[in-house]
Amino acid sequence: MKKIISLYIFALLFVCSAFLPSDPPPSQQVLQQLERAFHQNISTVEQEIAQVTVLAEALAEAPATVDALQKAHLDTRLAFKRIEYLLEYFDHYSIKKNINGAPLPTVEPKVPELIVVEPSGLQVLDELIFSEDPLAEKEEIIQLAQKLQGDFKKVAEYQQHIRITHRHVFEAVRQELLRVFTLGLTGFDTPGSVNAIPEATASWEAMATTVEAYYGLAEGEDAIFTQGLIALFSRGQRYLEEHPDFDDFDRLTFLKDYVDPLYDKLYQLQKKLRIETLRETNPRRQPVNEAAHSLFAADFLNPAYFANIDLSQEVVEKRTALGKILFFDPVLSSNLQGSCASCHQPDRAFTDGVAKSPSLSGTGHVKRNAPTVVNAVFAERYFYDLREPQLERQIKHVVMDSLEFATDFATIIDKLNQSETYRELFAEAYADFPSYQLSKWSISDALACYVSSLTSFNSPVDQYIRGEREELEASVKRGFNLFMGKAACGTCHFAPTFNGTVPPGYDESESEVLGVPATKDTLQTVLDGDIGRFNSFRPIDQAPFYVASFKTVTVRNIAETAPYMHNGVYDTLEEVVDFYNRGGGVGLGLEVPYQTLPDTPLGLTQQEQQDLVAFMKALSDETYDRSPPAGLPRFEQHPEWNDRPIGGTY
């Protein structure tokens, strides 16, 4: 009997043990470890912010606490940087708006009215706490510190409910690599303290620790690969620690030796560990191609996302070819004299070499300088005033402008229908859309396909970074480091497009108020009268800080696109660099109340200015398609049209 009872108890214990908690699998343990560290570090940031608030409030009674406040602020930012990769990944909008956004006013997006959002958060505090006289700013510092404390508490509460996956971790770390290089090491993130290198080091250490947690999940050759990746992180951290000087930091070497290789290897490790990728889980097009091997790879950014076109379709080749013909055909204009290529000439990197293009009638000029259309696709919005959100609708503005094509789509469609060749080209390219084969939409779409094909990432600089050429001139290297560091060019002209498309998401286009003068006269300087974005006819652009704000265009191929600025005021790159070196319009003595460009001189030496120019000239690319079409379609009913020249005459 006792034996039976013992067997019964043993069986009961065995059954019950199946329901007792057991150790989770190793992969789950890694996530639990990362989650615990993440939430602990969130608490640390909360504590650091609380200390900043206390010291800020003490400014009113104890001015001697300025040094302590500055130290506490730097400690807070370092703590924030250790979890930035996950905070930004999961809640980018809140972080940008309230925690670590640029110290400039913005407007609430996607609302039917103008709602101004005043800047707040760590960057704004960085500027004030490290100003020449923080005590003069004490009331604002106190208010901002208190607001930051409340805002971060909300962020912390939200983050508590997020369940982290392995895919999240790898995507967040890769984004942080881009963020460290494009926003951290450029000084964008530290406008007052310029504490960029220590902060990059803190972010780097956090990424390295995160990746180390995955070592135990890899086996065999994959474990060796992971070990090499961890060692590369370690060498990168040591490089940061051994080169703490912001002005002298060799960003080009750091990019080539650490950022780019790690960006590539992290994706490889993700695949080796059989962690799903974004492409496998989300079919929607993304701005960044996650499989790209380099920040400066030709396929790093995805034109299909920006153009909102499926460029993988077989018919796109035909549509692009048709768009190219339309781009060069003056039949689109009211008097058959002008085409897109009249102002965007391929032998000038698709610009026209004049300050402002002549109007179609030849009796005046268009409002602004013709920017290049090469890489123009990589933007959230188009035109200098950002008035158009869709690439394919750019042509609408040109068609209807009395100074440009001065016509309408009905007239253009009627013209094109009179050519058998055009009817056949549209029928072939848009066979799957019988009702729209020759329409406003198909004309616009074909032109957008062609413009999307005009991408340029094969300059000597790109080739050197990708390891496709062994050497780069010393002046170009120095210029790259100046551009991305001391000269602060890279804080507005973001790598790798070197335009205003903001990393690491590359889904937003910025504009800047520079205070551009009407003429080159530096003795009797007059501000240019163009009010830019404020006059875009978009209600949310009717904020005073958008007066004379213009889209940040690319500096790629800039050696071929003179004259410069929205009004073509400067003929040489040397003049442009001098303008920035003086502190923009304010530096020239102009009244520019909302200038976003730092208004103090950069203090660049003559050699440094020459190096900047050398770097920008080295961004020229000879490999993208500059050829015009072999010929233009003929018109049977209007033989007099058949003598029209490719590209037009005006």
Model confidence pLDDT, tens digit, residues 246-297: 999 999 999 999 999 999 999 999 999 999 999 999 989 999 999 999 999 9
- For the residues 329-351, what does the mean pLDDT come to? 97
Tell me the average pLDDT across 73-101: 97
* Alpha helix segments (H runs only) across 215-370: 221-242, 251-254, 260-272, 278-281, 303-307, 316-328, 340-343
Q: Is 529 left (phi over 0), alpha (psi -120 to 50) or beta?
A: alpha
Predicted pLDDT of residue 52: 97
Per the prediction, the chain carries an average pLDDT of: 94
Residue 457 to residue 391: CA distance in whole angstroms? 20
Residue 10: is its pLDDT beyond 60?
no
**Over pLDDT 70: what percentage of the chain?**
96
The burial class, CB within 10 Å (0-12 / 13-18 / 19+), for 248 is exposed
pLDDT by residue (tens digit) across 376-389? 999 999 999 999 99
Task: Evaluate if residue 12 carries a pLDDT over 60.
Answer: no
Q: What homologous superfamily does CATH list for 460-617?
A: Cytochrome c-like domain (1.10.760.10)
Q: What is the mean pLDDT of residues 510-528?
A: 95
Integer Cα distance of 286 and 307 in angstroms: 11
| pLDDT for res 112 | 79
Give the closest residue to 268 by CA, choosing from 307, 218, 334, 321.
218
CA distance 561 to 573: 10
Residue 110 banded pLDDT, cuts 50, 70, 90: confident
Whole-number Å distance between alpha carbons of 259 and 251: 10
* CB distance 485 to 491 below 8 Å: no
Fold of 305-455: Cytochrome Bc1 Complex; Chain D, domain 2 (1.10.760)
* pLDDT (average), residues 345-364: 94
> Residue 366 carries which DSSP code?
-
pLDDT for residue 6 is more than 80: no
Closest CA to 599 of 102, 191, 287: 191
Q: What is the pLDDT of residue 15?
A: 43
**Is 307:450 a contact under the CB 8 Å cutoff?**
no
pLDDT, residue 22, reads 67
**pLDDT at 320 exceeding the cut of 70:** yes
Q: Give the span between the Cα atoms of 405 and 460, in whole angstroms.
A: 37
Q: Look up residue 370 and give its two tokens.
A: 């013709």
**Once rounded to an integer, what is the mean pLDDT over residues 425-443?**
95
Cis peptide before 496 (omega within 30 of 0): yes
Kindly state the tokens that stand for 65: 């606490």
Distances, alpha carbon 568 to alpha carbons 520, 574, 576, in Å: 10, 14, 11
Q: What is the pLDDT of residues 145-175, one digit of tens each?
A: 999 999 999 999 999 999 999 999 999 999 9
Backbone angles phi, psi at 76, to 5 degrees: -65, -45
* C-alpha count within 13 angstroms, C-beta hemisphere, residue 12: 6
Q: Residue 65: its pLDDT value, please?
A: 86
Q: Where does residue 531 fall: left (phi above 0), alpha (psi -120 to 50 degrees), or beta otherwise?
A: alpha
What does the pLDDT read at residue 55?
A: 96
pLDDT band, very low/low/confident/very high, at 21 (cuts 50, 70, 90): low
* 482 has a pLDDT exceeding 90: yes
For the record, the structure tokens of 417 come out as: 């229908």
pLDDT at 16: 45
pLDDT value at position 349? 97
pLDDT at 214 over 80: yes
Mean pLDDT value across residues 55-59: 93
Tokens of 594: 């909302």
Whole-number percent of the chain with pLDDT over 90: 91
